[in-house]
Structure 1
Amino acid sequence: MGRIGCEVDGVLDDSKFSQPIPWVGLYIVAASLACLIGMATDTILGICNRKFWFPCKYFSLNATSLTLIGVAVKLSVDLNTSMPRHHEQLAKLSSSALICTIMANSMPSLGAMETKDMFMNLMALAILVITVIVNICMQLGTGVIYIFWREHILLMFLMLIILLLMVSSALTVPTTKQYLEYKYSKKYEMAVKKCMAQTEGTVTQRGKHKLTIFWMMAHTCSPQFVVGRSPTCIASGAFCLLSAMILAEAMLLSYLTPFSFRFCKGESDYKWSTILILVTQNAAVGVGTIAPALRWFIAIKFCCPKVRKQSSHKEQFRVEPYWIESLLEMKHCPLNLRIPNRHRRKLAHDAKFLSLSFCIRVQMAIVLISKVTRIISIFLVSSVLACWDHCKILKPRFKNCGSNISSGTESQSGSKQDLRDFVLHLEGEEELVEVMLRENHDATNHWIKVGEKRKPKHLVQLLEKSSVSQGFKGVGAFDCDKVPSLHPEEPSNIWSLPLVTLTAIAVALPNITKDSVKHLLDTVHEGLAYADLVENTLDKEGDLMKVRQAAQIVWLGIDLYHKWFGLDFSKMSEKSPEETLQKLADTAKANYEKYKMKNINVCLKAKPSAWPVKVLAANSMYRISNTILLNWKSKYELGGEALFEELTLVIADILGSCLVNLLHVLSVKCLTTAIEEREESVRHAGYIFGKTKKIMEILDKRELPNLAQTGAMKIDDWRSMHRQNSIDFPFSPCSPENNTETTSSESRTETTSSESSDLCQIIMDPS
């Protein structure tokens, strides 16, 4: 009996080698389908969001997409598998067209990458494209590809052109990012000063105008948008459309006029899978061509009237400095290589100088080719666009609505003029300012309206009951200095930890209905999302990270299990609120000592805010429970339901004082994020603004203390203010028992008021 793979006489048996190849074809189909889904998703999102430059979110140039491309184009690099029939030859051609489509689709994603990653991914793509071109040339020579050779040559040429366009675009990305980042910071300062000078309108109206300015700046300097509107990216759309037309021409000719071709007889080793490959890849090319073609067409539609009006096209063929700036820097920088011989160093430097001079000329040529392509495209479709414009003018509804449109335009001209100064553009893009202004003027309104539909209803209801008119007096009631400390130093307070601790106490109280508990938990759940946003933004150095983690862990136990570190509220046997509070205080103290002894070295060396999370949570529960107990009998006793209501009001006041900082936080988000993420950050800020618009209106309609107007960053600032005033809460023993300090309190209040006027810029100027 012969060995596996060999016959009895020892001769190699290769009859089974081709049996798994149809399953390899299915693998190609799966990779092509993944590319199709990714490109289709980006196209649909671009159309739905009216981003007709089609940013790459789900299908960008990265390791995953490069792997998928390598699998999807396997037929193009298969050198020795025969493809005799017409649909198999077409499958070879569709693989080549698919590469052109994928490259044109993924070009905007170059702007979203770090410089190193971008050039590494481009190098991998270049190796793949060159490999495909070399292998197709071999197949043309050996006869594996024996028909559609003209189409293959054209597609190889288009592959190379689109690759060069991608490299050309990549060379400008670092330069344009630096320039636009600098320009954004300057425009941001100007926007802050302008918003500070604006005193008319409500807080929400001013905040909306502010976010509109930030959106215009963030969107127009988005790296993907900058690449997407560049001449090279627009030209790639034209070449991508041309590659799809070449594939369509071959498909139509082969099926409609089969008599004009002579195909071979026989069957490929891929068998039935080649039909699936052809169908999938044709669909991928068709869907993938939509985004690049629309980029090209919209640019042509906009540029067409301007080109008609210009008598000279010199400006159209000018190469702006940012296209070659990075190459010029490399050209004039010295070599880092240490070559011993002076003559050899001179030769190496001259070689570098000449090679980069050549690259600069090539770069300029590519930019000129892109601009020539745009001009040619304009003249090709100008007559079609002219007919379209005349047809629109002849429509009666446009005649009837002409006056309304003009009046609406006049009403918006002032606001658009205000935003013109905040459209960030590169040299040579002056003509795009009007388009970017017109297309993105109402984007902020859209996201605000989306947010308004999802406003936190429970939180709004709670804040309407809060003591806003009394300066959020509950903020100073939850913790009293008369409570004996467990440690000489106390950790800094944040909004979320006392918030969840008070919620835990409220849930633990006896004789409270399930509906009341559920409503409170839903409200705190909504409020914590914004408290976390405020704390994460304002705690720039991360000093309070442990305190925030403690709050998150406490809330997880309360929300999901109605427990506080293993203490099950549903199994507590206490009959009165006083007993419940005492048990919570005793449990917190015992846990504090236990956790502290386990982490004694950490607690001794670290500052209080860096204690372990369980120590911080236990300390908070101990102080708040004892604050309520301290004055329990000295004033009057409350039943469980009454105390629950009082705790709810304190929770409302803490949330209200925290949310005073929302506008400031949203402003910070518009500046501090990286340029690649800034557009998404500003969009999210607009969405959050819409969700919290009702909350801001509630706060704006009521008289707030001076501290609120300055945008207090810490809850301890509010507590310091309330120590000077009487706090009329049943469980607050910290209020003065007499008025002997009224005069000093008033003087301190006046001092605080005068100081607050000097700090009024803090909301508008987070930097």
Structure 2
Amino acid sequence: MPWIGMYIAAASAVCSLAMAADAFNGFRSKKLWFPCKYFALNATSLTLLAVTMKFTVDLTTKMVGLAKFSSLVLMSTAMSNSMTSLASMDNNELLLNLTALTILVFTIAGNVCIYYIQIDFSTWLLFEMIVVIVIIFLLLIILYCSSLVIPTAKRYIDSKYHEMHKIARVEGGDCRLTIDEMRIMIRRYWVMAETGSPQFVMARSVLSATSGLICLSMALTLVEAHIRLNMLYFMSYPLTKTNYKWSIMWILYIQSSGVVLGTIAPVSRWFFAFRFKISETGLKNLKDELKIERYWTLRLVEWRESLLHLRIRHHRCRKLLHDAKRLLLNICIGVQILVVLTSKLILLISAIYGNVILLSFHHIKILKRPDPRASDEGSDLNPYVLLLEGEGELPKKILTNICNEVDKLIQTGRRRQPMNLLKLLNMSKNFDGVIKFDDNKEVPSLHSQEPHNCWSLSVVTLASIATALPNISKHKFNESLSGVSEGLYFVKLIEKYMDGDGELTSIRNAADVVWVGVELYNKWHSRNESKLPKLYARAARTIRYS
């Protein structure tokens, strides 16, 4: 049993480190909305959480309540921490992951209730356990409410992006752009991409701020439980009188540390949400502040008004089922409105009281001090910020961080130029040879169906021919291969985004396989030609007969 306890502690450590990595990544990239990159709601994280909660759902061993309580707080912290990851999922992934999480939550709640009914029913820690269970269910409801608005928000942001894309393309013009004009265009598209990121849209929502406040309250409750039990038992409360023995200490300390690390991202989202709300407080009346935008309930309304696709001939049964569906969805719409309304009210109260606290510590001057650089850089980029209906203007600080990020990437590109590719291009007088080589009249097709044009396949084929040319020094040969390798990175990047329908996927895969043989083994095709696709064989035979 102690080694099983260490297995639980190891799973808890992995979850804690993943949440800490997301927090570190957010601080490093100055994305204080903390995107979920390492700890997201998926099959891996749910499996780790199930292992972490094994100690909590164990009904066969005697255990102290504090360890069980820390496990439940870690569960609520993980749910709040991974909330923004829902925005990166499609509808099927949302359904599967939330269903799995619901099963896990109900299993945990049922086992905890059974344990305390049988073992211990009259402690103060029991009341705290019940509160945490209720909070976990509340977070689950918030996750479901968020998942219902994600598809609608994506469609809305996508439509706004296409509108701004047309405007940016008209302003950019069809003429050749200068370096400064190109820099401005890159900034505009970068702002649209960053502000339209699904995780960023979810992170700045009122539901995300509410989950952050709940996460903070649970962490403070765990701290209070530690202090109270330490004072009550004078640092000697019996943690090791269980079947898990000494491993229970590892579980408790690791999970408590995980709560602290996992609270950073949700609390930061809540803190910056109410801090940015401070500047808007007083500009709107209470009715406008608590207005429920259409996108919050649009999907539920569409489901309510849609036809129930069931082949039932009996008219009365169909009517009863349709009325039952409408009643159920009306209840869901009411719950959705209640959750969103409560979240808006919580954020508004946080902004009001936060304003008072900041005034008392004289920090409000720092928040309202204008940044001339931010105003100069962000004035022409505000129209390209993609916001949902009812969202306030993006703070200048965030817009400045976005601009600084793209400037850093431009500077990085200047420092890390593909030197071998530039040498290869400078050695080329023109590209007439490539045009002739890519002409079907010069190189006839080996089969009746001509494939679509693929740049990477032509580049790889020409590089394969170059490997067979005699009297070339090894140094120039390696430089040429390095230049082609650097150029293929950009070619594949362009092909990936231009081939939206995936028509060139098999051809690009064939080019990748050929390039592996050329770059690593200086061979123009695989030894076993029978395994190559037809397009592959065409490229290989073209090289052979050239």
TM-score, with length taken from structure 1: 0.64
Contact kept, 8 Å, 1:220 with 1:436, in 2: the verdict is no
For residues 139 and 411 of structure 2, the distance between their equivalents in structure 1, rounded to whole angstroms, comes to 40
For residues 222 and 622 of structure 1, the distance between their equivalents in structure 2, rounded to whole angstroms, comes to 50
For residues 613 and 134 of structure 1, the distance between their equivalents in structure 2, rounded to whole angstroms, comes to 58
**In structure 2, do the counterparts of structure 1 residues 512 and 91 end up closer, same or farther at CA, with 3 Å as the change threshold?**
same
Per the TM alignment, residue 210 of structure 1 is displaced from its structure 2 partner at its CA by 2.4
Contact kept, 8 Å, 1:551 with 1:617, in 2: the verdict is no
* Bigger radius of gyration among the two: 1
Structure 1 residue 267 corresponds to structure 2 residue 229:
no
Structure 1 residue 253 corresponds to structure 2 residue 228:
yes
Structure 1 residue 533 corresponds to structure 2 residue 493:
yes
For residues 135 and 426 of structure 2, the distance between their equivalents in structure 1, rounded to whole angstroms, comes to 64
| Residue among 51, 72, 79 paired with 1:96 | 72
Structure 1 residue 136 corresponds to structure 2 residue 112:
yes
In the alignment, residue 474 of structure 2 is paired with which amino acid? K
In the alignment, residue 143 of structure 2 is paired with which amino acid? M
Structure 1 residue 167 corresponds to structure 2 residue 129:
no
For residues 329 and 534 of structure 2, the distance between their equivalents in structure 1, rounded to whole angstroms, comes to 57
**In structure 2, do the counterparts of structure 1 residues 90 and 386 end up closer, same or farther at CA, with 3 Å as the change threshold?**
same
**Superposed counterparts of 1:85-234, under 5 Å:** 88-144=64-120, 146-196=123-173, 202=178, 204-234=179-209
Find the counterpart in structure 1 of residue 410 from structure 2.
Answer: 448
Per the TM alignment, residue 177 of structure 1 is displaced from its structure 2 partner at its CA by 1.5
Q: Deviations over 1:151-192 (max 9, x none)?
A: 212212221221111111111112112222222222222221
Per the TM alignment, residue 299 of structure 1 is displaced from its structure 2 partner at its CA by 0.8
Find the counterpart in structure 1 of residue 518 from structure 2.
Answer: 558
**In structure 2, do the counterparts of structure 1 residues 148 and 530 end up closer, same or farther at CA, with 3 Å as the change threshold?**
same
Which moves more between the two structures, 419-428 or 556-565? 556-565
| Residue among 338, 351, 357 paired with 1:384 | 357
| Residue among 378, 394, 399 paired with 1:437 | 399
**In structure 2, do the counterparts of structure 1 residues 512 and 96 end up closer, same or farther at CA, with 3 Å as the change threshold?**
same
In the alignment, residue 619 of structure 1 is paired with which amino acid? T
Q: Secondary structure at the match of 2:333?
A: helix
For residues 319 and 236 of structure 2, the distance between their equivalents in structure 1, rounded to whole angstroms, comes to 60
Structure 1 residue 327 corresponds to structure 2 residue 289:
no
Per the TM alignment, residue 275 of structure 1 is displaced from its structure 2 partner at its CA by 0.4
For residues 482 and 162 of structure 1, the distance between their equivalents in structure 2, rounded to whole angstroms, comes to 65
**In structure 2, do the counterparts of structure 1 residues 374 and 516 end up closer, same or farther at CA, with 3 Å as the change threshold?**
same
Structure 1 residue 77 corresponds to structure 2 residue 60:
no
For residues 358 and 433 of structure 1, the distance between their equivalents in structure 2, rounded to whole angstroms, comes to 36
**Superposed counterparts of 1:274-313, under 5 Å:** 274-307=248-281, 309-310=282-283, 312-313=285-286
**In structure 2, do the counterparts of structure 1 residues 125 and 541 end up closer, same or farther at CA, with 3 Å as the change threshold?**
closer
Find the counterpart in structure 2 of residue 45 from structure 1.
Answer: 25
Contact kept, 8 Å, 1:118 with 1:170, in 2: the verdict is yes
Find the counterpart in structure 2 of residue 66 from structure 1.
Answer: 46
Contact kept, 8 Å, 1:240 with 1:293, in 2: the verdict is yes
Q: Secondary structure at the match of 2:393?
A: helix
**Which residues of structure 2 form unaligned runs of 5+?**
none
**In structure 2, do the counterparts of structure 1 residues 316 and 465 end up closer, same or farther at CA, with 3 Å as the change threshold?**
same
In the alignment, residue 173 of structure 1 is paired with which amino acid? I
Find the counterpart in structure 2 of residue 618 from structure 1.
Answer: 541
Contact kept, 8 Å, 2:461 with 2:539, in 1: the verdict is no
For residues 258 and 549 of structure 1, the distance between their equivalents in structure 2, rounded to whole angstroms, comes to 65
Structure 1 residue 457 corresponds to structure 2 residue 419:
yes
Q: Deviations over 1:91-142 (max 9, x none)?
A: 1110110111011001111111111221222122122222222322233322
**In structure 2, do the counterparts of structure 1 residues 317 and 480 end up closer, same or farther at CA, with 3 Å as the change threshold?**
closer
Q: Deviations over 1:410-468 (max 9, x none)?
A: 643xxx3332222111111033365653442333222222333322111112323332x
Contact kept, 8 Å, 1:304 with 1:382, in 2: the verdict is yes
Contact kept, 8 Å, 1:41 with 1:58, in 2: the verdict is yes
In the alignment, residue 356 of structure 2 is paired with which amino acid? S
Report the RMSD for the aligned CA atoms in angstroms.
3.4
For residues 508 and 66 of structure 1, the distance between their equivalents in structure 2, rounded to whole angstroms, comes to 53
For residues 344 and 501 of structure 1, the distance between their equivalents in structure 2, rounded to whole angstroms, comes to 66
**In structure 2, do the counterparts of structure 1 residues 473 and 277 end up closer, same or farther at CA, with 3 Å as the change threshold?**
same
Q: Deviations over 1:284-303 (max 9, x none)?
A: 10100000000011111111
For residues 55 and 386 of structure 2, the distance between their equivalents in structure 1, rounded to whole angstroms, comes to 45
For residues 343 and 246 of structure 2, the distance between their equivalents in structure 1, rounded to whole angstroms, comes to 41
Per the TM alignment, residue 365 of structure 1 is displaced from its structure 2 partner at its CA by 0.8
For residues 410 and 151 of structure 2, the distance between their equivalents in structure 1, rounded to whole angstroms, comes to 33
In the alignment, residue 545 of structure 2 is paired with which amino acid? Y
Q: Deviations over 1:355-407 (max 9, x none)?
A: 2222211111111111122123223432332245548669xxx9xxx9xx53x
Contact kept, 8 Å, 2:240 with 2:249, in 1: the verdict is no
Q: Secondary structure at the match of 2:167?
A: helix
**Which residues of structure 1 form unaligned runs of 5+?**
1-20, 568-590, 603-609, 624-767
**In structure 2, do the counterparts of structure 1 residues 539 and 139 end up closer, same or farther at CA, with 3 Å as the change threshold?**
closer
Contact kept, 8 Å, 1:497 with 1:620, in 2: the verdict is no
Q: Secondary structure at the match of 2:427?
A: coil
For residues 25 and 367 of structure 1, the distance between their equivalents in structure 2, rounded to whole angstroms, comes to 40
Structure 1 residue 522 corresponds to structure 2 residue 490:
no
**In structure 2, do the counterparts of structure 1 residues 266 and 499 end up closer, same or farther at CA, with 3 Å as the change threshold?**
closer
**In structure 2, do the counterparts of structure 1 residues 544 and 112 end up closer, same or farther at CA, with 3 Å as the change threshold?**
closer
**In structure 2, do the counterparts of structure 1 residues 487 and 179 end up closer, same or farther at CA, with 3 Å as the change threshold?**
closer
**In structure 2, do the counterparts of structure 1 residues 557 and 119 end up closer, same or farther at CA, with 3 Å as the change threshold?**
closer
**In structure 2, do the counterparts of structure 1 residues 28 and 410 end up closer, same or farther at CA, with 3 Å as the change threshold?**
closer
**In structure 2, do the counterparts of structure 1 residues 292 and 190 end up closer, same or farther at CA, with 3 Å as the change threshold?**
same
Contact kept, 8 Å, 1:60 with 1:109, in 2: the verdict is yes
**In structure 2, do the counterparts of structure 1 residues 548 and 296 end up closer, same or farther at CA, with 3 Å as the change threshold?**
closer
**In structure 2, do the counterparts of structure 1 residues 155 and 549 end up closer, same or farther at CA, with 3 Å as the change threshold?**
closer
Structure 1 residue 358 corresponds to structure 2 residue 281:
no
Q: Secondary structure at the match of 2:394?
A: helix
Per the TM alignment, residue 242 of structure 1 is displaced from its structure 2 partner at its CA by 0.3
**In structure 2, do the counterparts of structure 1 residues 323 and 492 end up closer, same or farther at CA, with 3 Å as the change threshold?**
closer
For residues 439 and 151 of structure 2, the distance between their equivalents in structure 1, rounded to whole angstroms, comes to 55
Contact kept, 8 Å, 1:79 with 1:144, in 2: the verdict is no
Q: Deviations over 1:665-708 (max 9, x none)?
A: xxxxxxxxxxxxxxxxxxxxxxxxxxxxxxxxxxxxxxxxxxxx
Q: Secondary structure at the match of 1:563?
A: coil
| Residue among 374, 383, 387 paired with 1:425 | 387
**In structure 2, do the counterparts of structure 1 residues 343 and 38 end up closer, same or farther at CA, with 3 Å as the change threshold?**
same
Contact kept, 8 Å, 1:237 with 1:295, in 2: the verdict is yes
Q: Deviations over 1:558-592 (max 9, x none)?
A: 3222334589xxxxxxxxxxxxxxxxxxxxxxx9x
Contact kept, 8 Å, 2:43 with 2:97, in 1: the verdict is yes
**In structure 2, do the counterparts of structure 1 residues 266 and 76 end up closer, same or farther at CA, with 3 Å as the change threshold?**
closer
Aligned length: 543
**In structure 2, do the counterparts of structure 1 residues 322 and 271 end up closer, same or farther at CA, with 3 Å as the change threshold?**
same
In the alignment, residue 139 of structure 2 is paired with which amino acid? I
For residues 440 and 558 of structure 1, the distance between their equivalents in structure 2, rounded to whole angstroms, comes to 40
| Seq. identity, % | 39
